């Protein structure tokens, strides 16, 4: 959606998840879709693929990144097979970035964009980033790494993500400059309706009653009351703040009333279109696993202005 907002045509996609593929087809209507693991896609003979997929202006990918998230015991997950999502085949998630780079080698796009979590540039994961950069170089691409916050790009959300952005060396393009200074968009500007009410008989409700103006999450409440942090992924959403990252596994509860935020809040915070057809899928999951379209629009527009318009 972000690329379309920036004026691009989206030709196709590769997707392993049947539900996500159905959503993509319903809302994006791509010309070429492959509902297969990327490991299978990269083995398709070149002469069996549409000619339009070679020498693309941009090949974009977001290899699943949960093993690099700073939440949880991430290092213990490296090198092991996991179900990224229920119903999918087990895969080594930390290998998927290199499977994506194999597709780069196969299709030889002019520009490559790959998004991932901030955790990739923290601690031991920095070694993984070095390997990714080296692979880009071996493939004949000059790569830059950007840490961007969507709150500076017109998105009402403090979502930090890293972007590997590379171009083929034969294009001899200048360094890309990404600088965004949009004003912060506060929660009260997108707030709409109500989500579920908190159950007065639950511990969550009792903790909510003990909130203080300085508290940003239920972890702050439990630390003050119990002396240790728990329930940290339950976020207090305040009218005069930019909302936190919409994550698929977090709870977002309004500070000023005992209600979860609404689905329309989530859609607006993620800058999805109001008429997006979720086809019964969980709104928070779909939005939480996505790059905000306005964030991607800013990046895609800068790539066109600084690179593709002169290449």
Please report, for residues 156, 239, 262, 263, the alpha-carbon distance to residue 189 in angstroms, rounded to integers and kept in the order given: 9, 8, 14, 15
Please report, for residues 119, 225, 227, the alpha-carbon distance to residue 219 in angstroms, rounded to integers and kept in the order given: 21, 10, 10
65 is catalytic: yes
Q: Strand 160-168 and strand 141-149: pairing?
A: antiparallel
User: What are 240's strand-pairing partners?
Assistant: none
∠ at Cα 233 (292, 180), nearest 5°? Answer: 30
Cβ contact 128:158 at 8 Å = no
Give the C-alpha separation, 51 to 305, whole Å. 26
If you write DSSP's letter for every residue of 278-291 in order, what string do you get?
A: -TTS-HHHHHHTS-
Give the C-alpha separation, 22 to 82, whole Å. 23
Catalytic position from the list 59, 65, 103, 117: 65
Reading the block at residue 175, the tokens are 């360094």
Crossing angle between the packed helical segments 125-138 and 96-107, to the nearest 10 degrees? 10
As a residue count, the chain comes to 311
Give the C-alpha separation, 259 to 252, whole Å. 9
Active site residues: 65
């Amino acid at each position: 959606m972000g690329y379309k907002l920036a004026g691009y045509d989206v030709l196709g996609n590769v997707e392993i998840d049947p539900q996500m593929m159905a959503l993509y087809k319903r809302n994006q209507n791509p010309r070429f879709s492959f509902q297969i693991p990327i490991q299978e896609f990269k083995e398709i003979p070149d002469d069996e693929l549409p000619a339009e997929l070679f020498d693309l202006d941009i090949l974009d990918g977001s290899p699943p990144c949960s093993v690099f998230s700073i939440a949880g015991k991430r290092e213990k997950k490296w090198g092991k097979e996991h179900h990224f999502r229920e119903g999918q085949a087990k895969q080594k998630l930390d290998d998927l970035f290199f499977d994506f780079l194999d597709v780069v080698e196969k299709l030889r796009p002019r520009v490559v964009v790959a998004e991932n979590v901030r955790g990739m540039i923290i601690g031991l994961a920095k070694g993984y980033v070095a390997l990714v950069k080296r692979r880009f170089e071996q493939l004949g691409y000059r790569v830059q790494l950007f840490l961007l916050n969507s709150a500076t790009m017109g998105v009402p959300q403090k979502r930090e993500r890293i972007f590997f952005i590379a171009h083929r060396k034969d294009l001899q393009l200048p360094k890309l400059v990404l600088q965004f200074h949009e004003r912060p968009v506060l929660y009260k500007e997108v707030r709409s309706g109500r989500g579920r009410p908190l159950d007065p008989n639950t511990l969550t409700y009792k903790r909510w009653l003990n909130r203080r103006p300085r508290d940003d999450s239920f972890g702050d409440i439990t630390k003050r009351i119990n002396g240790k942090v728990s329930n940290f992924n339950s976020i207090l959403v305040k009218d005069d703040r930019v909302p936190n990252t919409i994550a698929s596994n977090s709870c977002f509860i309004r500070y000023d009333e005992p209600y979860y935020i609404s689905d329309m809040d989530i859609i607006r915070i993620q800058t999805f279109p109001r008429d997006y057809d979720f086809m019964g899928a969980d709104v928070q999951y779909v939005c939480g696993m996505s790059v905000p379209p306005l964030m991607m629009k800013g990046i895609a527009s800068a790539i066109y202005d600084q690179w593709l318009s002169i290449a």
